[in-house]
Amino acid sequence: MVDLIHGLDPDRIRANLERVHEAIAGAGRDPGEVEILAAVKYVPVEELGALAEAGLELLGENRAQDLVAKADAFPGRFTWDFIGVLQSRKVRQVLPHVRYIHSVATESALAQLQRHASATTQVLVEVNVSAESGKEGVGPEELGAFLERSAVQVVGLMTMPPLAAEPEDSRPYFRALRRLAERHGLPHLSMGTSQDYVVAVQEGATIVRLGTSLYG
């Protein structure tokens, strides 16, 4: 079990955030074009004030009940995205609190979105570009038909590459996701975490999901 993160220092987070922006610029991208999403699965609600003080605005939560509790504790302070596995029974619970759901990948989720989403709801579809058995995500060859069945606006794609020893190992999967997004005219790419976000940025990421690189 992973321990929750306590004792976050706003000054340290600000310094880490600046290093991330420098790394994005060093990768040849405008930092203003890449959103930094702070993943807060292991950040308890009482520590979110440190993130606000550090200037973080976009947070991502993996668990529906925690997202609701954290959003309610800081009304209007943060923009929230849902980045965890999306259980269809949780769709209705998540929708009022989020800008994007990053992890739409099942027919049951599509059905619940059609039932409960508003005209302004926007989502990203999770794609299993590595074709790993048991991993969440729509197969690349199934993506076109899946998009056609969506009753809500899909604005991008998300992926998690296989665990790798080196960031460079993730490049083929990020590149494949970018090509899929281009093929389907989707502007957003949610890809890259603390260990490989620089490679993701080089391959076109518009949202990177960071944890340890911000908090450590």
124 within domain boundaries: yes
Name residues whose C-beta falls within 8 Å of residue 141's C-beta, 6 or more positions apart in sequence.
Answer: none
The total domain count for the chain is 1
4 within domain boundaries: no
The model's pTM: 0.96
198 within domain boundaries: yes
Quick one: pLDDT band at residue 2, thresholds 50, 70, 90? Answer: low
Q: How far apart are CA 125 and CA 155, in angstroms?
A: 8
SS3 label, residue 62:
coil
Q: How far apart are CA 100 and CA 103, in angstroms?
A: 9
3 within domain boundaries: no
Whether 1 shows a pLDDT value over 90: the answer reads no
HEC secondary structure over 197-215: HHHHHHCCCCEEEECHHHH
17 within domain boundaries: yes
Instruction: Show the domain range for 160.
Output: 10-215
209 within domain boundaries: yes
Give mean pLDDT, residues 38-65. 98
What integer pLDDT is reported at residue 123 of this predicted model? 98
N residues, the chain: 216
2 within domain boundaries: no
Residue 117 backbone class (left: φ over 0; alpha: ψ -120 to 50; beta: rest): beta
What integer pLDDT is reported at residue 133 of this predicted model? 87
Whether 51 shows a pLDDT value over 60: the answer reads yes
Encoded amino acid at 80, one letter: W
Q: How far apart are CA 189 and CA 205, in angstroms?
A: 5
CATH number, domain at 198? 3.20.20.10
Greatest CA span in the chain, whole angstroms? 47
